[in-house]
Amino acid sequence: MTLSVVKRYLIAFDQYKWVGLATLAVTVGVSGVVAVQPTPPPVYVAAGTLAYRRPSVIFSSTTTKIQQEGQEITKEMLLDKRVVEAAAKKVKVSAKKLADNVQVKMPSKNNDPSALIQVLYKNADRKKAEAVVEALMKAMVARSQTINTSRLRETIGQINQRLPKVTQELREIEAKLEAYEKREGTSILAAQSGVLPQAITSSQQQQRQLRVQLGGIEAQMKSLQDRLGLNVEQAYVAQALSADPIIAQLRVQLFSLESQLKILRTDLQEEHPKIVELVKQKQVFEQQLQQRQSEVLGGNGVAAPLRSADRIRVDSSLDPARQQLAQSLIALQTQQDTVQQQLQGIEKTEQLLRREHATIPNKQLEQARLAQQVALKKALYDKMQSALVDAEAAVAETTGSLTIAQLPKTEDVESNKRGLPVMLALGGFVGLLLGGGLIFLLGMLNGKFYSWEEVRAALVEKEVPILGVLPEVTMFDSYGDEMPLALAANSPYLEFYERLRTNLRRIGDKPVKVVLLTSATGLEGKTFSAYNLAIASARSGKRTLLIEADLRSASNVESLKIAADPLAAVEPLHYYGNLSECVRLVPEVENLYVVPSPGFLRQASAVLESSEMRRLFEDVRNRFDFVVVDSPALSECNDALTLEPYTDGMILVARPGYTLSSMLSEAADQLLESDEEESHKSGPRLLGAIINGADIAVKFRNDIEEFELPLSAMSNRAIEVRSRQLPQQSKPKNKAINSKLR
């Protein structure tokens, strides 16, 4: 199989061969003109050499560095404007002429001490050339010494310029370190000496002791509360009320009144004046009892909670022994509060000590960081001081890096004029190279794919699935002006379309039933592929429908021996709305039906977006096993994108020799981007691509006789080539056939 590059070059050569021939002719002509030119006068080349110089005694490291840098001198530095002007002034030559004719050859390794620099100068006068080279070499040696000295002075100046700033930064960081140690040194020293951890441990020990003491107090309080049956507050109230003599006296009086009332009520009514008087006295005593209770329990003029007289009498009924127990309970409560306050104070102290101890590592890190900065600044300061002293000592040792190794000399020049045949042969060889390269370049810049391997590589790069590679057709089953199709049941091309059909069945979870074929540009064989795919599906026993959805060009159903309806273009909506009128049976292929296009319509988009078209697709999806939709190219209109929602996906058709790489890439990016945006569909929007017109082998049956193919039975590329060779009056017919291959 021929390589892809060779195919591309052969096709490009066929298209641009006159450009290559013109390039060859021009190159040969130029070489002939050059060959007949008169011989120019001899030109002498004076050559001198410069060597690298190394001082005999070196005490400074800066001198060694300067000498090493001097050995890295470049051609531009040697041919400096000042060097050229100084030499030109000395030999009285134009500086521009000297710069145009001088040449400096640098050694491959500048760090080699034995390397030489060669200075060349061209001139018709031998002595003049030698004088110019000698003046140039002396100027270059002087320039080398000037460069080394200027580098040394520049080094000293840079050190003196940066030294004050470095000194100031060193003093500032030293001051920061000193201030930090004054402020935080005590804490850091306490942590390092162990005083701070000991204080934390002591605080924890005190807390444990206080908690033990607090536990003993709580146990005593619980025991007293169980014996009294009162809590601390109740014990305090009962002890205070029982110890008050006035309350005790009022209790005695109330008890006496109650005794009298009890005796009188046995003989007298409640309305008796004596009973009424005793009741009033009792109320007065109870009020006095409540008032005294407020005075005893209130304290500091604060009102005590209001209690009933009966409750006050109960609370003030403690005997001396129980009063002693209540006093002990109150004292324990006071002791408990004191211990708790001490415990809280010690806990706060421990927290402060712990926070102080937690900051010690950060303080130590900060101290180490400041000390490190001081060390770095100090090292930089010392290094600059050392470099300054070394540079000042190197001033006396620095010399030029170059010296004259050999004075200029010239050699005799022989005539190198070549004969006319040699120049013509050389021009022909160069012309062949230029012409071939120009043809290859024009072929590369054309932007087309010239082999199906290139198309496949571009589709793989775009991650577009390749559903099938269809061969370049060199033999068809139909002849005449109609589009050639593989109508015969034993056609060797049907197996490729059958393979394409089976590949479509394996796409996605659901079977693909309605597919739409389109292409990036025209003449890529999408209509031809759609027809043959429908024929292959019908031959496999599937009830197949072919829909011509290109409403911007004429119908191609004549190739199927079907006549288009001339009235369909008058009422296209009525035509598509009546399924029995628009669906036609193909007589020569069983199970194949077709919906012919009405032809060119001015409002094609309106028809495609109509409800009649939508109902047509819904009906045929239920009536047929497989539906193939032929649509216009994406570069011509958006009809394919309009019809896509009615289908299960799109197939992109590409064809070597016609498909442009930019158009294919743009179409693939557009369809793949739409596929990501509409992930809710049952199948992907772009099902894949097929490569049409590939030069792959096709096995013909033995019973097929060989014969000369007519024009309509040739491949698309053969039709195009043959149409250029036919007379002018036959070209319209050939163009019509070629247009049907879209």
* Lowest-confidence segment of 70-74, 272-276, 597-601 by average pLDDT: 70-74
> DSSP letter string over 490-524?
T-TTHHHHHHHHHHHHTSSSSPP-EEEEEESSSSS
Kindly state the percentage of the chain with pLDDT values over 70.
80
- Interior angle at CA 677, CA 674 and CA 678, nearest 5: 85
Please state, in angstroms and rounded to a whole number, the distance separating the CA atoms of residues 33 and 36.
5
Separation in Å, CA 502 to CA 345, 467, 512, 513, 639? 89, 9, 10, 12, 27
What's residue 446's pLDDT?
60
Please state, in angstroms and rounded to a whole number, the distance separating the CA atoms of residues 170 and 676.
63
Under 8 Å between Cβ of 14 and 27: no
Under 8 Å between Cβ of 19 and 435: yes
What's residue 630's pLDDT?
94
What's residue 123's pLDDT?
79
Average pLDDT, the chain: 78
Please state, in angstroms and rounded to a whole number, the distance separating the CA atoms of residues 32 and 17.
23
What's residue 708's pLDDT?
35
Mean pLDDT calculated for residue range 583-604: 91
Residue-wise pLDDT for 337-366, tens only, equals 898 898 889 888 888 878 877 787 888 788
Contacts 24+ apart (CB under 8 A), 564-573: 564/596, 564/597, 564/598, 564/599, 565/596, 565/598, 568/596, 568/598, 568/599, 569/598, 569/599, 569/600, 569/601, 572/598, 572/601, 572/607, 573/607, 573/610, 573/612
Higher pLDDT, 446 or 23: 23
> DSSP letter string over 230-246?
--HHHHHHHHHHHH-HH
What's the half-sphere exposure (Cβ side, CA atoms, 13 Å) at 110?
13
Residue-wise pLDDT for 358-393, tens only, equals 787 888 788 888 888 889 988 888 888 888 787 777
Higher pLDDT, 419 or 477: 419
Six-digit token string for 238: 């009962």
H/E element, 5: helix 4-35
Residue-wise pLDDT for 94-138, tens only, equals 888 888 888 888 887 655 656 788 888 887 777 888 888 888 888
Residues 6+ apart with CB under 8 A from 143: 77, 78, 80, 82, 83
* Lowest-confidence segment of 429-438, 450-459, 676-685 by average pLDDT: 676-685
Q: At which residue do the structure tokens 């004046």 appear?
A: 273
Residue 417 in 3-state DSSP? coil
Higher pLDDT, 714 or 324: 324
Please state, in angstroms and rounded to a whole number, the distance separating the CA atoms of residues 485 and 253.
136
List the one residue out of 689, 647, 414 whose CA is nearest residue 547.
Answer: 647
pLDDT band at 174 (very low <50, low <70, confident <90, very high): confident
- Res. 239: pLDDT tops 80: no
Amino acid in position 283: Q
What's residue 679's pLDDT?
47
Kindly state the percentage of the chain with pLDDT values over 90.
12
Q: Which residues pair with 391 in a beta bridge?
A: none
List the one residue out of 398, 401, 410, 408 whose CA is nearest residue 78.
Answer: 401
What's residue 400's pLDDT?
63
List the one residue out of 134, 124, 135, 127 whose CA is nearest residue 101.
Answer: 124
- Res. 320: pLDDT tops 70: yes
Amino acid in position 58: I
pLDDT band at 180 (very low <50, low <70, confident <90, very high): confident
Under 8 Å between Cβ of 93 and 123: no
Residue-wise pLDDT for 636-645, tens only, equals 898 999 999 9
Please state, in angstroms and rounded to a whole number, the distance separating the CA atoms of residues 217 and 338.
11
Mean pLDDT calculated for residue range 555-579: 87
- Res. 730: pLDDT tops 50: no
Under 8 Å between Cβ of 304 and 298: yes
Residue 406 in 3-state DSSP? strand
Please state, in angstroms and rounded to a whole number, the distance separating the CA atoms of residues 499 and 535.
13
- Highest-pLDDT range among 32-41, 164-173, 189-198: 164-173
Under 8 Å between Cβ of 402 and 53: yes
> DSSP letter string over 312-363?
HHHHT---HHHHHHHHHHHHHHHHHHHHHHHHHHHHHHHHHHHHHHHTHHHH
Q: What number of H helices and E strands is found in the chain?
A: 25, 12
What's residue 413's pLDDT?
55
Q: Which pairing describes strands 544-548 and 592-595: parallel, antiparallel, or unpaired?
A: parallel
Mean pLDDT calculated for residue range 726-740: 35
pLDDT band at 9 (very low <50, low <70, confident <90, very high): low
Amino acid in position 704: I
Contacts 24+ apart (CB under 8 A), 671-675: 672/462, 672/463, 672/464, 674/641
